[in-house]
Structures are given as structure tokens and as C-alpha cells.
Amino acid sequence: MPSTYAHYVFGKRMMELFPEDVAAVVRADRQLYDIGLHGPDILFYYHVLTNNKVNAVGFGTHARPAKEFFAPAKAAVGKGGAPAFAYLVGFLCHFALDVTCHSYIENKIAVSNVRHTEIESEFDRFLLGKDGKEPLSAKLTGHIFPTAENAHVIAPFFAGLTEKQIRKSLRSMITCNEFVRAPHAFKRFLVNTVLHLSGNWKEMHGMMIAKQPIPACRDSNLRLEKLMKKAEGECLSLLADYRAYLAGQPLSSAFDRTFGAGEGWQNIPVLSEQEEKNYEV
């Protein structure tokens, strides 16, 4: 998935593009919309160093066709009203950005051997820099509020999970992101030591933004910026499809896709930085 800040930035951009009636709902329940922007990823953080029932739901949702989440989500929206719809719209944004970016990311990994988390954290660095923020010290979860009220709205979207588990996932998301926010050498040493000792360094060290930009990601930053722009249209289309579903129409086949890479990802060009400057998606 594009990482924490990328999903937040995309959600802010989409607020300017939504139909006014949708934008009004989102503004009224901004906290739930902002949490929705992170889709099933919030569950990844539940006891993050272990495999368990809760984070398995997150990984499973990400790997299966999106319709397996969005079809039953209709009942949760019906039950939860406008706050639940605001959360659902954020979740749609997450899906739109993931489905637009992941095929390229998959081939970038295959071609360059740069890790998924490194590509995504470098794109966060790129976006933070464009927004005038210091990437190594920026707090990325200031928009996440793990309140009982928010957990009450979110829990019905995930069958079998409790409000308590949702709230703990959100708290852990904040804790984990704060842990890898490491502008100074000692904190970076501490993070790397903990990840090595826990056996998670290989998979997770890329969550910590590298001290210096990774040259192998300069091209992917440019591509992901273009794909983020392309995802705006994808998101508006998905929103229209889902509103039709709420009104009684069949769920669009657009939701047959997973949140991950699609068929033919191996054929997506991975270019040099110079070539990327002239490439259109």
C-alpha cells in the first residue's frame, strides 16, 4: 500500500473533488473519514510483531477481492448512517489509490530489488518535502483519533472484530508510527536493534524513513506522483459506483479487484529517473 502520509494527502485532495453532498458528510465526520483513508491497514498494527486474528483480517481484506469488504459494508453504512458513510468514503479512497499504484510497485520491486516499505516510505518523504515538512521528524498520525465513538462506527465493517480491538489497532498505529519516527542517530539505532532482536528487521525496517534519500526510488517517486493524480478519477468513479449500489444497483465489477497488484503487472514499465520525467501514465 502507499504509506501513511500518501493516503492522507490523497484523501485531502479528494475532498476538493467530491460532489458537494459527499464532501459535506466528510467534513462533518472528518475523523472517521481520515481513519477510513487507511483502509484495512489499521488492523496490521494490532500486536504488530505477532500473527493474530485481528491483523489476519487486515491482511486478508487486502488480499481478497474488494467486493468481499464493500458488499457487506452496505449493511454497516445503513446501520451507522452519515458517520459510517464518511468512513466508507475514506475506505474507497484507500482502495482507489492502492489499486492504481500497486501493479507498478510490484514490478518496481521485481526490477530494482528495493523493498515495498522502502518505496512507500520514500514516497512519503517526497510528499512531506513538497509540503514543506521535515520528513524524519514529521508526525504522520496526528489525524488518527482512537476514540470509543469512532471504534463504535468502524467495528461493524469488520465481522468478528470488537470495538475494543478496533480501538487498540488505532492506538497501536499511532504507537508504531511514533516508534519509527527517528530523526536522531540514537533513536534510529534503537529502532533497528529492536527490529533485529524481534526478527522483523527485514520486513519492517523500511517503515522508518531512511536517513538519506534512497537513489533507487527517485524514479518511483515521480511515477507514484503521477499515479496518485490518476487515482483521483478512479476514486470518483468508484464512489459513483458505490452510491449506485447503495441505491439498489448491483455492485460494480470494479470491486472484483484486490487492493494489490493486478494481472499483467510484470508488463508495466519501470524506467530510469530521466525516462520517467517524460513518461505519461
Q: What is the pLDDT along the chain (281 residues), one digit of tens a residue?
A: 458 999 999 999 999 999 999 999 999 999 999 999 999 999 999 999 889 999 999 999 999 999 999 999 999 999 999 999 999 999 999 999 999 999 999 999 999 989 999 999 999 999 999 999 999 999 999 999 999 999 999 999 999 999 999 999 999 999 999 998 989 989 989 988 988 888 777 767 778 899 999 999 999 999 999 999 999 999 999 999 999 999 999 999 999 999 999 999 999 999 999 999 999 99
User: What are the CA-CA distances from residue 254 to residues 77, 83, 227 (Å)?
Assistant: 20, 24, 18
- Interatomic CA distance for residues 96 and 108, integer angstroms: 19
pLDDT at position 1: 44
Chain center to CA of 47? 19
Residue 205: what pLDDT? 73
Largest CA-CA distance found in the chain, in angstroms, rounded? 56
What is the structure's pLDDT at 270? Answer: 98
In what helix (H) or strand (E) does residue 134 lie, and over which residues does it extend? none
Using a cut of 0.85, tell me whether the model's pTM lies above it.
yes
What's the rounded Cα separation, in Å, for the pair 204 and 192? 9
With contact defined as beta carbons under 8 Å apart, do 96 and 86 qualify? no
Find the Cα–Cα–Cα–Cα dihedral 144, 148, 151, 152, rounded to 10°: -150
Residue with cell 523493498: 115
Q: What backbone torsions phi and psi does residue 131 show, to the nearest 5 degrees? A: -90, 5
